[in-house]
């Protein structure tokens, strides 16, 4: 009888079919300290993105629907374009009354003259005209309220869609990853393994970064990338993370 009781207790002790205990979720080494130091370096808010970023390009006094349209247009113009150039192009557009109807009434040549010299301006003229027509026909002149619908619009990629959700709809659906966020995340080893494309980086970051930081991270890293963690010749000697950045000694 004793033996059978012992066997029974052993069976209960090993219940669970030999499954391993759950592991702690992965997170990068020193990331909290790195983030805090980046916040300190960004405290002056004097990077181009702070003064001329998309969040500064729309008319905040416009009706909400017009404001959201202007946000989306600024994002479309900003691709492969410096903030200063995007800001100037948006100012020229707004002087002509920037609405869905005004853009639909404008011919492509005029639109091109206004937005030049933004990067790939000829393609953007076509995308803006196509997207604006869709917004008028399908969304009553407003912009879609989901990432899934936004990325279906001509010339709108995932980064733009997430930023449009942040800025236009005040909704955090995911992390907006541009070239700065992509580059810095890889340099700091904020991804488990090196990523080649911004969309890969977005997925990797969202796996571990607390959701309450998703909105802030784009703004922080873009400005940091514009001023300190440059694409070429980063200013490591001026960076507060120099001692805990995996890339600092190599660069």
Counting every residue written for the chain, the total comes to 251
Residue 137 · residue 131 · CB < 8 Å: no
Report d(CA 243, CA 181) in Å as an integer: 20
Question: What's CA 148's distance to the chain center, in Å?
Answer: 15
Cα-Cα end-to-end distance for the chain: 71
Annotated catalytic residue: which of 159, 193, 196, 249? Answer: 159
Contacts of 77 (CB under 8 A, 6+ apart): 86, 89, 90, 115, 118, 124
Retrieve residue 101's tokens: 């109807």
Residue 188 · residue 31 · CB < 8 Å: yes
The count of C-alpha atoms lying within 13 angstroms of the C-alpha of 75, restricted to the half-sphere facing its C-beta, is 30
Using only C-alpha atoms, the chain has a radius of gyration, in whole angstroms, of 24
Report d(CA 121, CA 71) in Å as an integer: 17
The answer to whether residue 215 is catalytic is no
Residues annotated as part of the active site: 159
């Amino acid at each position: 009888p004793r033996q059978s009781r012992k066997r029974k207790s052993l069976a209960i002790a090993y219940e669970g079919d030999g499954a391993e205990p759950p592991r702690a979720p992965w997170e990068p080494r020193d990331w909290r300290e790195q983030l805090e130091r980046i916040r300190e370096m960004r405290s002056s808010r004097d990077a181009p993105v702070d003064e001329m970023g998309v969040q500064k390009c729309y008319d905040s006094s416009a009706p909400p629907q017009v404001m959201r349209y202007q946000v989306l247009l600024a994002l479309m113009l900003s691709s492969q374009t410096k903030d200063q150039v995007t800001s100037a192009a948006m100012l020229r557009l707004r002087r002509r009354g920037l609405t869905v109807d005004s853009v639909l009434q404008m011919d492509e040549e005029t639109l091109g003259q206004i937005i030049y010299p933004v990067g790939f301006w000829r393609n953007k003229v076509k995308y803006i005209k196509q997207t604006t027509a869709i917004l008028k026909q399908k969304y009553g002149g407003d912009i879609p309220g989901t990432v899934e619908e936004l990325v279906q619009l001509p010339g709108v990629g995932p980064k733009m869609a997430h930023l449009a959700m942040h800025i236009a709809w005040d909704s955090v659906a995911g992390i907006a990853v541009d070239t700065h966020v992509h580059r810095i995340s890889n340099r700091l080893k904020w991804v488990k393994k090196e990523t080649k494309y911004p969309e890969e980086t977005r997925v990797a970051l969202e796996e571990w970064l607390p959701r309450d930081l998703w909105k802030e991270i784009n703004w922080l890293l873009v400005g940091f990338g514009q001023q300190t963690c440059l694409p070429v010749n980063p200013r490591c000697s001026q960076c507060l993370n120099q001692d805990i950045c995996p890339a600092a000694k190599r660069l």
